[in-house]
Amino acid sequence: MKPVAVFRHSPGEGPGYFATFLEARSVPWLPIRVDAGEAVPADPSAFSGLVFMGGPMSVNDPLPWVEEECALIRAAVAADIPVLGHCLGGQLMAKALGGEITRNPVKEIGWGEVSAADNDIAREWLGDLRAFLSFHWHGETFSIPEGASLLLGNRHCPHQAFALGKHLAMQCHVEMTEAMIRLWNSQWAEETRGSSGPAIQTPEEMYQDLTHRLAGLNAVASKLYTRWIAGLS
């Protein structure tokens, strides 16, 4: 099998649990460290799938790799190569497919419940799962591109995930590990200290019952990732 390409945009926002999931199933993957200056491939055909991780920047920022990745996403969708996006990665997918990325009404930082949409596509991806506790760290949101179906939402951010065929874009972070949560709180301590709102937690609140919360999130991620890797050639 060709490797899955995993695009990193910030040193602390690697694949997390997604790498654990792939390696447990002997699915090869290749990191592409955009934050370290590695080039964005122009042709997706060398890969069985493309995965885009998060980052503190906006897809509306004038960064040269943003349009390069959007072009790659469009090429992959046209070639029926599965694409998966996490947070910034989901926003890149939305932008590439004709959606818009705008400021969310509130920042979401920490744990918060998301609910499944009531449609057949959501049931294909989530089965009988109706809601779960996910992790969040974002201030922007995406619109749902034409032809895509809403999968997840909540009261703070109605668009938490969408699917288009075998392609999955998420605003929420299902890939989290304990190490990532602690690193983000260290890297972006000023953001949590300088922000307040109905969907912002302190680091101490994020760490409460952490092992149990992560086990639940890993189970949901496995369900979504299992559906996604079924599309790999």
Q: Tens of pLDDT along 56-79?
A: 999 999 999 999 999 999 999 999
Task: Please provide the average confidence, as pLDDT, over all residues in the chain.
Answer: 97
pLDDT above 80 (res 196): no
Strand partners, 162: 150, 169
3-state helix, strand, coil split of the chain in percent (to 5) is 35, 25, 35
Strand 4-8 versus strand 29-33 pairing type: parallel
Query: What is the C-alpha to C-alpha distance for residues 184 and 189, in angstroms, rounded to an integer?
Result: 8
Q: Please report the pLDDT score of residue 150 as a whole number.
A: 98
Radius of gyration of the chain (CA): 16
Q: Is 182 left (phi over 0), alpha (psi -120 to 50) or beta?
A: alpha
pLDDT tens-digit map of 123-182: 999 999 999 999 999 999 999 999 999 999 999 999 999 999 999 999 999 999 999 999
Q: Is 21 left (phi over 0), alpha (psi -120 to 50) or beta?
A: alpha
- Please give the span between the terminal C-alpha atoms of the chain, in angstroms, as a whole number: 7
Residue-range domains of the chain with CATH: 4-229 (3.40.50.880)
